[in-house]
Amino acid sequence: MKAVMKHAPGNGNVAVMDTAEPACGVNQVKVEVAFCGVCGTDIHVLHDTFRNYPPVILGHEFAGTIVEVGKDASGVALGDHVTVLGATAVTCGKCVYCRSGRFMFCPIRRGMGHGVNGAFARYAVVRPDQIFRLPEGFGLDEASLSEPFAAAVQAVCELTPVRIGDTALVSGPGPIGLLCLKLLVAEGIKTIVAGAPGDTARLEAARAMGAAAIVNVGETNLLEAVKEQTGGMGVDTAFECAGHPDSVRGCLDALRPMGRYTQVAISGREIQFPIDRLIFKQLNMVGSLCYTERTWDRVMKIYAQGKVRLGDLITAKFPIAEWSAGFDLCVEKKALKVLLYPEA
Ligand SMILES: [Zn+2]
Ligand SMILES: [Zn+2]
């Protein structure tokens, strides 16, 4: 089968290659990939700024159909429409984090798409416990956004207390920021979305998705806009989804005393900020890394209840042969989510 592979260590070294179709072993399930989303992590693997273990097939945000069920694999059936938790591909199962469901911190963990083969290919083979069955009628294209959506669900629904009547700030209108916005809107939270001058189209998308106000910080003072929206109080919660120094400081300024700051974006650099804000406003600051399996269970319930749909985040679909055009659209911020699909 054709697959987008990192074939050697270092910067670059990604190409569409012919590789053996994976065999479905004991306690394994073979999934025919319908769509696999391009994620910032894939671009980091391309440039070797995220750990990777070549030769490896890229891609970890996918959904598809079960086409083979291996011996002893239970709870799954041929023809099921599913999405896959790729991050648990390799864990020890024994450490304190694995035993408490916090597999992200397992010292030997390897995820699909960089640690083991991912899903920019026709087939992927996984364990049944990585499979989440989609509710009837939920599209395989929007279901391929489950992995970034789960990250937003942990940040908004599990780690940040949000209550109707609150005002939230989402700073950074990339895919994760917009997924956080969708959840906040579904929970009835008045949400301000802030972005940089290059984010005009993404801010318009935020408005269409239910933002109460959008702020282009190149044109409008964020603090003034926040005061206007909150009667001078400041926001109750801020979700930092840009990973930019100005955004971090903007969130700290925008919060009211006793507010909650949740760091969702990875910035990849050191950021200077006035740490005294934490004391003088007695802020709660928390980081949110990915999700747990329980988060994915919640994602399936959110899909089933139908209050949040994800299709409007998908701006382009490419066959895997055109992976680099898809990657470029993401790097240039010309797309929200780009999906790749295997060719017939
Ligand atoms: Zn991802
Ligand atoms: Zn472990």
Q: What is the pLDDT of residues 65-93, one digit of tens each?
A: 999 999 999 999 999 999 999 999 999 99
Rounded distance between C-alpha atoms, residue 182 and residue 179, angstroms: 5
Say if pTM beats, i.e. exceeds, 0.95.
yes
Instruction: List C-alpha distances in Å: 326 to 48, 148, 217, 299.
Output: 18, 17, 28, 26
Closest ligand relative to 43 C-alpha? 1
pLDDT confidence band for 287 (50 / 70 / 90) = very high
> Alpha helix locations (H) across 162-318?
175-186, 200-208, 222-229, 245-254, 276-280, 293-305
pLDDT confidence band for 343 (50 / 70 / 90) = confident
93 Cα: distance to centroid of ligand 2 (angstroms): 5
Give yes or no for a contact between 44 and 30, defined as CB atoms under 8 angstroms apart: no
80 Cα: distance to centroid of ligand 1 (angstroms): 23
Closest ligand relative to 114 C-alpha? 1
Rounded distance between C-alpha atoms, residue 135 and residue 239, angstroms: 29
- Average pLDDT score over residue span 162-190: 97
Q: What is the pLDDT of residues 256-265, one digit of tens each?
A: 999 999 999 9
- Average pLDDT score over residue span 193-218: 97
Query: Residue 5's beta-bridge partner residues?
Result: 15, 57
pLDDT confidence band for 97 (50 / 70 / 90) = very high
Rounded distance between C-alpha atoms, residue 297 and residue 146, angstroms: 11
What's the confidence (pLDDT) of residue 299?
98
Report the chain's mean pLDDT, rounded to a whole number.
Answer: 96
Show the tokens assigned to 211: 């933002």
Closest ligand relative to 106 C-alpha? 2
What's the confidence (pLDDT) of residue 145?
98
Residue 30 has pLDDT above 80, yes or no: yes
Query: Residue 36's beta-bridge partner residues?
Result: 62, 340
99 Cα: distance to centroid of ligand 2 (angstroms): 7
User: pLDDT exceeding 90 applies to what percent of the chain?
Assistant: 97
What's the confidence (pLDDT) of residue 14?
97
224 Cα: distance to centroid of ligand 1 (angstroms): 34
Q: What is the pLDDT of residues 99-150, one digit of tens each?
A: 999 999 999 999 999 999 999 999 999 999 999 999 999 999 999 999 999 9
The gap between the terminal CA atoms of the chain, to the nearest Å, is 10
Instruction: List C-alpha distances in Å: 118 to 22, 110, 189.
Output: 11, 11, 36
> Left (φ > 0), alpha (ψ -120 to 50) or beta: where does 318 sit?
beta
Lowest mean pLDDT among 82-86, 161-165, 188-192, 330-334: 330-334
**Phi and psi (nearest 5°) for 294?**
-60, -35
What's the confidence (pLDDT) of residue 333?
86
Residue 7 has pLDDT above 80, yes or no: yes
